Amino acid sequence: GQNIDQPTEMTATEGAIVQINCTYQTSGFNGLFWYQQHAGEAPTFLSYNVLDGLEEKGRFSSFLSRSKGYSYLLLKELQMKDSASYLCAAADSNYQLIWGAGTKLIIKP
């Protein structure tokens, strides 16, 4: 079956760095998305990786290893507004997104 695993919850300190991991098992693979979802709001697009390596976008970076079925989202210089859930989603051979349950990130002052 198809499956996405990510930690349920993580806690980090304002100003620090946090890495949120995601492992995936899909029938075929056509890329991996990270979305941010604040409480009571819609998911919003953060990043998309289809090739191995690190993609940097400001304070956020996303990494992909296709051979390991693994990705991570790296958040630097954490701010209180980064408190949210982070959803990992992999596109399968039919380009359908398989979603993880999300990682709730709590930022403490």
Partner 1 sequence: DTAVSQTPKYLVTQMGNDKSIKCEQNLGHDTMYWYKQDSKKFLKIMFSYNNKELIINETVPNRFSPKSPDKAHLNLHINSLELGDSAVYFCASSQDWGERTDTQYFGPGTRLTVL
Interface positions with partner 1 (CB under 8 A): 30-31, 33, 41-45, 48, 50, 85, 87, 89, 91, 94-97, 99, 101-102, 104
Q: How far apart are CA 74 and CA 57, in angstroms?
A: 10
Smallest gap from residue 68 Cβ to partner 1 (A): 20
Smallest gap from residue 102 Cβ to partner 1 (A): 5
Smallest gap from residue 90 Cβ to partner 1 (A): 10
Q: How far apart are CA 63 and CA 51, in angstroms?
A: 9
Q: How far apart are CA 63 and CA 30, in angstroms?
A: 15
Name which of 69, 61, 68, 66 is nearest 86 in CA terms: 61
